[in-house]
Structure 1
Amino acid sequence: MSTLILVHLTSVGPDRQSASVQFDPHLTVIYGASESGKSYIVEAIDYMLGATKLKSIHEAEGYTHILLGVREKASGDVFTLCRELDGNKVEVFEGDLRIFPTRQPNQTLNLKHSPTAENNVSRYLLKILGVDGKHVLQNARRKLRTLSFRDLAHLSIIHDTPMADPRSPVLASGMKTKETEDKSVFRLLLTGVDEPEGPTGTSEVEKKVGKGKIDLLDQLITDTARNLTMESSETDLKAQLGRLEKTLAKASADTSELISQRTALIARDRILQTQTGENDERAGELRTLIGRFGLLRQQYESDLDRLRMVAEAGSLLGYFFREGPCVFCGAAPEHQQPGHQMAEADQLQIAVVTETNKTNELHADLLTTMEDLGEQLSQLEGENASITAASRLLKDELTTLDGQLAPLNEDARALDMLRTKIQANLALHAQILRLENLKATLSNTPAAPMPALPDGIPAATVVEFEQTMHAILKSWQIPGDNLVTYNQKTAEISVDNRPRSSRGRGMRSIIHAAFTMALAHYTAERDLPHPGFIVLDSPLLTYREPDEDFKMPRNVIGHFYRALHAERSAQVIVVENIDPPQDLKDPVTLHPFHTSGAERMGFYPA
């Protein structure tokens, strides 16, 4: 089976210096003072492999994405997982990406594992490992679920708190309700065989629940029957509904015909009202013009009266004033020609006659125009009278139609209410039938026998794993005989007949680290499922203050690191406060944080 090799963990953001650590294919040690970001690296690796969230730290402000470079051991191909710091999607880029992503990803994966959909990070990684679709037990009654990559991550990425937790390393989920699942996952890794499908049993609780369901269904059937408002049977109700639908259809057709007639009448009345409005507007314009022309007529008549007065006055002036200055032009007698004043009087008469004729023509034209406008006004008033009469007839017809529609609408409402009532009763009959069918199903289900307990791990396999873990503890020079036993029922691991849960915090951490290393070694030698890498957070010490001088027996620390250095079955990443031995040789990658000789204060740039 193929495995995974972690290449690097890099955090990037716009206008930010990349924060990155390179992982050795064999052994990587990240060590130094506390509060320098070491455990954050472990959490970030887990976050990139499907964990739901990553804690927020001040140093990560301005960074937006985390990149995890991964190599497939079988093919040697490298791909990069990319996820936003608060994202719920994982993007996959082909190749080794260590800068802010500017190109489109090759794939975008969901976080949640799904047995039916493949576009999630869990199944993407399980396919590489060759274990996609494997089954594990979900409970003791042999209910199955598909393997998730998170099941494997719990056994290969060990955070500092679970490292020293008294709970067995086998029960990696940390949840009591998932003990059966945890044991089944451990069995799958040690044997390579997933759980077969089989019948599930009915527990006593389920039997009691089934009896309670039947009682509840009886009560629901009774309560539903009380809601029936019609005594007719379901068959009679359906027949009645059919007849009612036909009656409603005919009534609807009759009503539609009357409504169509009413709509046509309303349309005609609207046209008449529009025409009346237009006529009223035109009549108003005509009345305004007639009024203005009346004033003009009065002006013309007044002008004619004045012209007559001027003509009479001119005759008198020419007749009486014979000597002296000219009454018309004011010329002195010595400057007047004989008959001067008479000539002037004649000219005045000519002018008056001319102006009078002109005014009479305008007056006659005005009277003709006013007469024409009066005829138009009379015609419009006649049309409006006809329109009013027609509109009155339309309203009478509408009143008649409304009288015909009213009883039809009342009947339709009554029929519709009856139809609603019948449909509600039919729905209740259908609900009662469903409840009775469900009750019959529960009543006729035979009580299935309790299935046998899940098959355990073969004894020979358990012994081989115990021997593998024993050899690792011996290589670390842990005091004692280091004889390991595993209790399949309780999942407890004991060393020298002392359960791990009864040991001190430090020893619990060492045993957990040995278990994790033994599982990786055992599966690698037998080509069994495993991610191919392990990450151990604080297997030797839980806390160290910056620059504080700690002394710890170097034989345990030295043998621990040298044994891991010699291990070739899995990639090992150790996060620890204790400095590793200085005589470790390649292949090994060391990342000191905030300690003597360190070039960096932590994962993120200071």
Structure 2
Amino acid sequence: MLQIRKILLRGAGLEDAIVQFYSGANVLAGESDTGKSFLLECINFILGADKLKHVDEAVPYTHLAVEFVNSNDETITLVRPTNGGNLMAYRVPIDDISGDGEPIAPTRKGLSKGPDVTSVLLPFADINEARLRKNVGGETQRFTIRTIEPLFLIDEVSVIDQYSPVTGKPAFGDTARKRALSYVLTGIDDGSVAAGEKNEIVKARLKAKLELVDEMLQPLNERFASPGAPGASGASGASGASGASGVSGVSGVSGVSTDDTELDTLIGSLTGELENLATSRDALQEQSQEATRNILKTDSQLLGIRELLSRYRLLDERYTSDLDRLDFISESSFYFDALQDVPCPVCDQIMVPGHSHSPDSAARPIRESAVAEAAKIHAHRTDLAAAIRDLEVRQGLVEGEKSTIDKELQSLNTELSRTLAPRLEFTTQRLEQLVSRHTEREATRVERERWQSLVKLQNDINSALAESGAPKQTWAGIPPKELEEFCAEIQAVLVEWAWKGTPCVEFDEKAFDIIVDGKPRQSSGKGVRAVLYAAFVIGLLRYTAKNNRPHPGLIVIDSPLTSYKKKKNQTVKGENGQVDAGIEAAFWESLAKTSKDIQVIVIENKEPPTEIAAEVHYQWFAGEDAKADERAGFIPGKSARAN
């Protein structure tokens, strides 16, 4: 097993940002935005994550280093540039690093066999190389640190989420993480599993579909296939129970009966009222849209009118220029005889002595042509002036029309925002409160029908596989003995934490999560989910240490007591719930008794009691208001915005 001793950020000309940890229990508490959660991000990054979360205060630092020790008092330090890339491994503490280390990759890519974080850290923690089954066909993959990350590195969102603490968010590849738990509990991997022979494409496709259907059926079978569950009589009789679930009450709507018929009546009444309001709103919106279209139309007309006026005025200027040119040509015919030794403007010959043109033969036609052309242009200018006047009149009319429409649109928008919108919002809220209860009933029916169709699809795929001769392989789950001992360890943790009554812990191999006192962890409120996640990983750590099983030997858990109060976690589904005050006090007392053979790092907003703080390795980040003898945050002199 291994433990973390130091986490350090270093940059040229900067004071090191360093936090130290010890064996047993470590508590890092403090104000928000002081960099507590950023420490977990640093650990995740050094263990192979693609990138380090951006924090403004950490940008100037160029390298991250994490120092580990193992059960043999050996030390290894991993160093990685904060902008990503490969790591360097040094077999000495951070303070003794010098020269070049051993280059290692964050993770192996493709068929690479080179050293990476897993190949360096797992042997250092005395964990042998192992293989895990990754699909129903029996193919295996390498056991890595990333595979078991949810079991020892728990961030503030995962701790309260509804996902399994073994697999995290559902995804293809969950099989390997499920098998990782079996390996951690038993110490036996899947290296001896022989993958089935590769079948033709159709069989491979059927297997992939079957695995997906099996995963989709797991939570549904728990609800509808187990004895006593709604619809447990079988898929054939499930469709007739659409109205079986009652309504326990409507939150925020006073005087609402639990009778489904009355609930439907109320929903119908509110729906009618909402439809009437919506009709009025739609009518106003249609008028508003029509006014908007008219405004766009007038704008388009004005744009066209202005463009035509611009072109007409340019044409008028051209006519003026042409008239000036024609006047010049007409007058120039009188001066031909006075020109000497220059090209004749009429015949283009040099005008030597005696060269001349008869006014009758040359000047008169030119002048007459110029006068005729000028007459045509004057006529065009008259027409053009009339057209310009018409356009200017039209422009005035359109601008007046636009002004009228603008006033109408403003009136419509005022009525929409001040009158109809508040009434719509109020009626909608009331209706949503009723519909939410109605939806619960309908959701059960829909889920039951979905379960029926998936069961049928599962049977059809199995039949198709059997008919095609595809081999059906079955795999053993987690051995009952190890599961029982593991659940007993979690129960012991909950007893230490003053859980009400005598806790009964079971492991659900479908959801890969625990059931406490008959209630799945995932269906509890956020606060209870966080406490039970903490009990799960601490119980697993104790079990593996006691039985010498493959486990990193440490856990880092962010906000097991207060994470559900943070704003950025409000998107997680489920009620916040409350953690019993007795559990919180007992949690701190139990933490103080943590064995020095393992390491538990708890990151919290709350301070532990004074007597507990004295028994654990306790650090407090005081934030921006830190006193002279207090530490502000992870980054020296500043708080880090990553909490």
TM-score normalised over the length of structure 2? 0.53
Contact 1:557 1:580 in 2 (8 A): no
Partner residue of 1:535? Answer: 556
Unmatched runs of 5 consecutive residues or more in structure 1? 211-445, 546-550
Q: 5 Å matches for 1:266-305?
A: none
1:559 maps to a residue whose letter is A
Contact 1:132 1:147 in 2 (8 A): no
Partner residue of 1:491? Answer: 512
CA distance 1:563–1:122, shift in 2 (3 Å): same
Q: 5 Å matches for 1:22-41?
A: 22-41=20-39
Partner residue of 1:88? Answer: 85
Task: Choose the corresponding residue for 1:453, options 451, 474, 477.
Answer: 474
1:577 and 2:600 matched: no
Give the secondary-structure state (helix, strand or coil) at the position aligned to 1:197: coil
Measured after TM superposition, the shift of residue 131 of structure 1 is 3.3
Partner residue of 2:120? Answer: 124
1:567 maps to a residue whose letter is T
| Separation in 1, partners of 2:538, 2:152 | 9
Measured after TM superposition, the shift of residue 500 of structure 1 is 0.9
Task: Choose the corresponding residue for 1:77, options 74, 79, 85.
Answer: 74
CA distance 1:204–1:479, shift in 2 (3 Å): farther
Task: Choose the corresponding residue for 1:16, options 5, 8, 14.
Answer: 14
Partner residue of 1:589? Answer: 617
Q: Which runs of 4+ in 1 moved over 4 A?
A: 201-205, 551-554, 595-598
Contact 1:123 1:132 in 2 (8 A): no
Per-residue deviation, residues 538-587 of structure 1 (Å, max 9, x unmatched): 10111469xxxxx9865322211221221215200000111111102655
Q: 5 Å matches for 1:16-415?
A: 16-73=14-71, 75-98=72-95, 103-113=98-108, 117-172=113-168, 174-195=169-190, 196-200=192-196, 206-207=202-203
Measured after TM superposition, the shift of residue 481 of structure 1 is 3.0
Partner residue of 1:567? Answer: 594
Per-residue deviation, residues 337-376 of structure 1 (Å, max 9, x unmatched): xxxxxxxxxxxxxxxxxxxxxxxxxxxxxxxxxxxxxxxx
Contact 1:30 1:576 in 2 (8 A): yes
| Separation in 2, partners of 1:131, 1:491 | 23
Identity %: 28
Partner residue of 1:440? Answer: none
CA distance 1:496–1:34, shift in 2 (3 Å): same
Partner residue of 2:634? Answer: 603
Unmatched runs of 5 consecutive residues or more in structure 2? 207-466, 568-577, 639-643
Give the secondary-structure state (helix, strand or coil) at the position aligned to 1:80: strand
CA distance 1:209–1:493, shift in 2 (3 Å): closer
Higher radius of gyration, 1 or 2: 1
2:514 maps to a residue whose letter is I
Per-residue deviation, residues 36-82 of structure 1 (Å, max 9, x unmatched): 11100011111111122111111113111111011121x21112111
Task: Choose the corresponding residue for 2:503, options 473, 482, 490.
Answer: 482
Give the secondary-structure state (helix, strand or coil) at the position aligned to 2:119: helix
Contact 2:150 2:167 in 1 (8 A): no
Contact 2:490 2:535 in 1 (8 A): yes
| Separation in 2, partners of 1:110, 1:208 | 33
Per-residue deviation, residues 274-305 of structure 1 (Å, max 9, x unmatched): xxxxxxxxxxxxxxxxxxxxxxxxxxxxxxxx
Measured after TM superposition, the shift of residue 484 of structure 1 is 0.7
CA distance 1:203–1:466, shift in 2 (3 Å): farther
Partner residue of 1:277? Answer: none
1:121 maps to a residue whose letter is V
Per-residue deviation, residues 302-334 of structure 1 (Å, max 9, x unmatched): xxxxxxxxxxxxxxxxxxxxxxxxxxxxxxxxx
CA distance 1:502–1:554, shift in 2 (3 Å): closer
CA distance 1:62–1:450, shift in 2 (3 Å): same
CA distance 1:197–1:10, shift in 2 (3 Å): same
Per-residue deviation, residues 401-449 of structure 1 (Å, max 9, x unmatched): xxxxxxxxxxxxxxxxxxxxxxxxxxxxxxxxxxxxxxxxxxxxx9664
Partner residue of 1:473? Answer: 494
| Separation in 2, partners of 1:151, 1:593 | 32
TM-score normalised over the length of structure 1? 0.56
